[in-house]
Amino acid sequence: MPFDFSFVRADLSGRDCLPIELSEVGVAKGGRALIDDLNLSIGSGRRTVLMGPNGAGKSLTLRLLQGAIAPDKGVVTAGGRPLDASNRKRIGLVLQRPILLRRSVRANLDHALRAQRVAASARRDQIEELLTLAGLEHRADAPARGLSGGEQQRLSIVRALAAEPDVLLLDEPTASLDPHATQSIERLIDQTTEAGVKVVLVTHDCGQARRLADEVLFLHQGRLAEHTPAATFFKNPVSEPARAYLAGRLVL
């Protein structure tokens, strides 16, 4: 599918991704540590997959990386500076369950572009490009909440891309989708990566992780258990929890 993605990463060539780092980060709720002394950095590799059993803190980590949640302890930096409004703008986050506005597909994108202070004249073209990218040209005027699950997720992803982020964080984008819809999302992720956007993805689906990951971060009980290239992770995981997880033994 040929498309012009130039507006998203016009100055893409040769530019480094925005590195994001968590240092000694902790999050607690009701006296229980959900994330404890977590250190990790996102930067190397085009696509990072965040894996781990339920309750390992994957979704929470994703939110910490975007600044949607502030840590109780530790520091989150992006591009070497603590997260603030200006560098947060360069990090997109797509929640597991798409929360679309009760408007048309087009109006959802228009709203996102307006939030980025894009001028009206430029918005029209960008909406068309995002619609093409999502494969939703024919659904442009349909109510967003009437779309199928896969279409909603694609819209949700291109909406995040409207902000022209350097890094896109995706929380289990295909969790409740059928194989066909999953395929369309993965294709969209490929296109996003090709356009030079660094993707960080949470998934439970090992097949998907194998298909997409350049590197894997494995979380266990709120800590980073392993950070290895994808090839190494799936062939020869270093940590015991990761080995147990891949063997289907580790549930929690």
- Which residues of this protein are in contact with another protein, per CB under 8 A? 66, 68, 85, 88-89, 92-93, 95, 99, 101-104, 111-112, 115, 142-143, 145-146, 160, 163
Measured CA distances, 227 to 111, 223, 237 (Å): 37, 11, 10
Of 22 and 225, the one with the shorter C-beta distance to another protein is: 22
Of 35 and 209, the one with the shorter C-beta distance to another protein is: 35
Min dist CB 194 to another protein, Å, is 24
Min dist CB 246 to another protein, Å, is 31
Query: Look-up: residue for tokens 């093409």?
Result: 132
Min dist CB 150 to another protein, Å, is 16
Query: How many alpha carbons fall within 13 Å on the CB side of residue 251?
Result: 0
Name 91's bridge partners: 167
Of 23 and 104, the one with the shorter C-beta distance to another protein is: 104
Min dist CB 37 to another protein, Å, is 25
Min dist CB 24 to another protein, Å, is 24
Count of CB atoms within 10 A of residue 63's CB? 19
Torsion angle of C-alpha atoms 105, 195, 197, 57, degrees rounded to 10: 60
Min dist CB 110 to another protein, Å, is 12
Of 81 and 249, the one with the shorter C-beta distance to another protein is: 81
Q: 207 with 223: CB under 8 angstroms?
A: no
Of 70 and 231, the one with the shorter C-beta distance to another protein is: 70
Query: Look-up: residue for tokens 């929890």?
Result: 241
Beta pairing, strands 73-78 & 20-29 = antiparallel
- Residue partners of 222: CB distance under 8 A and separation at least 6: 27, 33, 34, 35, 36, 38, 56, 57
Helix (H) or strand (E) holding 51: strand 47-51
- Token pair listed for 28: 């607690």
What is the maximal distance between C-alpha atoms in the chain? 55
